[in-house]
Amino acid sequence: MIVSKFGGTSVGTFEAMQRSAQIVAADKNRQLIVISATSGTTNDLVALSASNIDSTTREELLGNIEQRHLAIIERCEEEEKLKDSFYTEFSKLREHLDFVGRDKRWKDRLYAFGEMMSTKIFVEVLKQNGIDAEWLDAREIMKMDSTFGNAEPMLKSIKAKAKEHIHKGTTYLTQGFVGSDIFGNTTTLGRGGSDFSAALFAEAVGADTLEIWTDVAGVYTTDPRIVPEAFPIHEISFDEAAELSVFGGKVLHPATLKPAIRGGVNVRVASSSDPENPGTFIVKESEEKPAIRAISLRKDQTLLTVNSLQMLHQHGFLAQLFRVLAEHKISVDLVSTSEVSVALTLDTAVNAANKVELTDDVLDELREFAEVSVEENLALIALIGNDMQKTSGLGGPLFSALEQYNIRLICHGASSNNLCFLVDHKEAEGIVKMLHHKFIGKGS
Ligand code: ASP
Ligand code: MG
């Protein structure tokens, strides 16, 4: 069984939906189809949920949503039926807006409209292409906790519900991103969460393969906008891909690989406008294991340095430091320590989602036992590869390549798949270009 996920751009226009439907039709094993909202729709819904929105903007956003969907519907054979079903959702959406400010719960219900509408349309497009898919409400299966906006999936319940609702031999179409809590309230997995949903579905049904159909030809060696020579990686291990998705490769939602790893599900990332191109396979063990396979760049890094003589030959200092950060829900990314100081970067992926910052409160609390400094305008470069902690000969060429740059912090040794360092953000892209050229090249 293959679980196929199509992202927003792969269902964003009638032509895109047609192409995606033909991909589904090309392999009978594609039996569980998970899709995102049409591209742009979740952004519009998030904008609609803003508390200070004026009525002009509100009508404009609603108009965008309506136009985008109608443009697709007007090309469908079942135009009238789809219009009815779209306007049923759309009028619920309008009514809904009056409640959004009241309670966090209403926001997730609002965001879910995007996926509800896209699946209502896509099920008809599938039918036009000879696939009789059963429309499945993801909220029946994707059980989550009640952390609205960023809910945690409940794996046992998801598995049990999947067993109850999903049967071999039938093709299903369902929504990514959305689920429900034990009270039946709609929940969401956080922005970009459809990949994660699809992986959870794949794990729950014991799929062999999870396909992520997107608008790029796979996972690239680095961002091709920075390095035109970058190319799609043919095969990469779960461990490497996990590092890459966490450290800035934007193709996959960082949580996607966990369920795939647990479930032993191979992942394929490919472009829905170029389906003949194999794209990238993410597998348990990759055949080739280059020391440096990919390079990622993450901007806007904050470095916090905490310095205290108390730390000298003491125990408990790190615990004290991390307790303060934990209490303020600050997620830490990299850590480097010396005898009397600790330098760390904040996990911007997590912190950005939760809008947690190094507030004066946090800093004051730290100042009670240490000197604290904060540096901004840094960028994190991560080299992703294999056996990095034992590759003799990597350090020499790497450090000489970096000779003329100021490296603010290095983390190496914790993972055999990752070596990363902080540099001035103005120099970052140049360094990525240089390293890619030197260590990865053009591919074959
Ligand atoms: N539609 C949701 C979003 O844009 C989820 C997704 O596309 O992955 O964040
Ligand atoms: Mg997406």
- Could you read off the pLDDT of 114-172 as tens digits, one per residue? 999 999 999 999 999 999 999 999 999 999 999 999 999 999 999 999 999 999 999 99
122 burial class (0-12, 13-18, 19+ CB within 10 angstroms)? buried
Domain ranges (residues) in the chain: 2-205, 294-439
434 CA to middle of ligand 2, Å? 30
Residue 171 tokens read as 């093709």
Starting at the edge strand found earlier in the chain, the sheet holding 409-412 runs: 332-337, 341-346, 294-307, 371-384, 418-424, 409-412
d(CA 111, CA 96): 11
17 Cβ neighbours under 8 A, 6+ residues apart: 11, 72, 121, 122, 125
Residue 258 tokens read as 């966990």
Tokens 């647990």 correspond to 262
Tokens 């799929």 correspond to 207
Quick: pLDDT tens for 308-347.
887 777 788 888 899 999 998 888 888 998 888 899 998 7
Average pLDDT estimate for 207-226: 95
Q: Is 193 in the pocket of ligand 1 (CB under 6 A)?
A: yes
Q: Spelled out in words, what is the top-level CATH class assigned to the domain 2-205?
A: alpha beta
The candidate with the shortest Cα–Cα distance to 177, out of 148, 213, 210, is 148
What's this model's pTM, rounded to 2 decimal places? 0.89
Q: Is 177 in the pocket of ligand 1 (CB under 6 A)?
A: yes
**Rounded to 10 degrees, what is the CA torsion of 38, 39, 40, 41?**
20
- What is the band of 359 on the pLDDT scale with cuts at 50, 70, 90? confident
Q: Is 149 in the pocket of ligand 1 (CB under 6 A)?
A: no
pLDDT reported for residue 243: 87
d(CA 286, CA 242): 14
332 CA to middle of ligand 2, Å? 25
Atom of ligand 1 nearest to the CA of 37: 1
Asked if residues 236 and 266 have their Cβ atoms less than 8 Å apart, the reply is no
177 CA to middle of ligand 2, Å? 9
- Overall residue count recorded for the chain in this entry: 444
21-53 burial: b if 16+ Cβ within 10 Å, else e: bbbbeeeeebbbbbbbbbbebbebbbebbeeee
Q: Is 6 in the pocket of ligand 1 (CB under 6 A)?
A: no
Decide if domain 294-439 falls under CATH 3.40.50.2000: no
